[in-house]
């Protein structure tokens, strides 16, 4: 069993993403032995984000986001919790709203102190914000993700999702894992959403991504799910080219827009 004693928020038996599959030297009584760290198993690193947003008649966005993670993703979430503790929930919330182009109030609830190394970790966010650029009837906008504390589903596990300048020939670290996002939004009184964006399906031998849209009682929702299963620590050659092509299709699913219409 391997442990990183410098990773302050790593549950025992969990390593940072970058250490899986790396070469390692075992120091023995007689000589040494070169080995390779184990790969990240498909079910070890998971993350899920659930966000419900309501639009008020004044154009404010009110909602709640809950992010839960295990494995290496839980380390990332604990690091975010440590940063929130350092500056305080209110200040961290205002900064988070500023990053998504809103003003208002927000707060973070930690499931436990980041140093309590239970296998799963959760951060819940409550927010009430006014977009700096108001959304009006007929104007398109992407599904609001709420206050995000972990990457987009599909970003990072097998390469950067939105770095279009990275050549498809450039080797990138890749890991097994899964990420799920479930977002919903309720329109303000007297309005409804004009139409649903199309669903998305992307599949290769090593990954899958789906985005499913639906409308129930005026509320629009989307569920995005990404899964990867890698048998090597570095995506190179044909695997990298195939993965890069898949990431380009996945990234195109995020800017899809919805818009308001009068009842």
Write the pLDDT tens digit of every residue in 106-146: 999 998 888 888 889 999 999 999 998 888 778 899 999 99
Residues 36, 126: Cα–Cα separation, whole Å: 43
Confidence of residue 5 (pLDDT cuts 50, 70, 90): confident
Say what the pLDDT of residue 137 is.
Answer: 77
Place of tokens 């044909």: 238
Domain covering 17-262: architecture:
Sandwich (2.60)
Is-contact 49 94, C-beta < 8 A? no
pLDDT tens readout for residues 78-114: 999 999 999 999 999 999 999 999 999 999 999 888 8
Helices (H) and strands (E) in the chain, counts: 3, 15
Say what the pLDDT of residue 8 is.
Answer: 84
Give the residue, 66 or 26, on which the prediction is more confident: 66
Domain ranges of the chain: 17-262
- Is 217 in a helix, a strand, or coil? coil
* Cα–Cα–Cα angle for 208, 42, 167, rounded to 5 degrees: 55
- Is 89 in a helix, a strand, or coil? helix
For residue 190, pLDDT over 80 is answered with yes
What share of the chain has pLDDT > 90, as a percent? 79
SS (H, E, C) 233-258: CEECHHHHHHHHHHHHHHHCCCCCEE
Residues 18, 227: Cα–Cα separation, whole Å: 18
pTM here is: 0.93
Say what the pLDDT of residue 251 is.
Answer: 96
Number of neighbouring beta carbons within 10 Å of residue 241: 14
Say what the pLDDT of residue 12 is.
Answer: 80
* Cα–Cα–Cα angle for 151, 252, 70, rounded to 5 degrees: 25
List Cβ neighbours of 99 (8 Å cut-off, separation of 6 or more).
none
Give the residue, 241 or 29, on which the prediction is more confident: 241
pLDDT tens readout for residues 191-219: 999 999 999 999 999 999 999 999 999 99
């Amino acid at each position: 069993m391997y442990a990183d004693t410098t990773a302050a928020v790593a549950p025992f038996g969990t390593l940072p993403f970058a250490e899986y599959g790396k070469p390692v030297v075992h120091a023995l009584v007689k000589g040494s032995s070169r080995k390779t760290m184990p790969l990240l198993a498909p079910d070890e690193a998971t993350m899920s984000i659930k966000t419900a947003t309501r639009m008020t008649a004044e154009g404010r966005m009110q909602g709640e986001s809950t992010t839960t993670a295990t494995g290496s993703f839980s380390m990332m979430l604990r690091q975010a919790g440590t940063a929130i503790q350092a500056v305080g929930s209110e200040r961290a919330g205002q900064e988070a709203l500023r990053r998504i182009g809103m003003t208002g109030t927000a707060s973070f609830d930690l499931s436990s102190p980041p140093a309590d190394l239970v296998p799963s970790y959760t951060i819940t966010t409550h927010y009430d914000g006014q977009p700096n650029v108001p959304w009006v009837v007929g104007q398109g906008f992407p599904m609001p993700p709420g206050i995000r504390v972990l990457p987009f589903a599909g970003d990072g596990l097998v390469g950067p999702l939105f770095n279009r300048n990275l050549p498809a020939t450039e080797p990138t670290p890749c890991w097994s894992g899964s990420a799920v996002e479930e977002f919903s939004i309720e329109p303000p009184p007297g309005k409804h959403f004009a139409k649903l964006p199309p669903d998305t399906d992307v599949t290769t031998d090593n990954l899958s991504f789906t985005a499913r849209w639906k409308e129930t009682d005026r509320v629009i929702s989307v569920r995005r799910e990404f899964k990867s299963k890698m048998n090597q620590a570095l995506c190179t050659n044909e695997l990298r080219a195939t993965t890069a092509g898949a990431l380009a299709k996945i990234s195109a699913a995020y800017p899809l827009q919805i818009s308001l219409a009068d009842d």
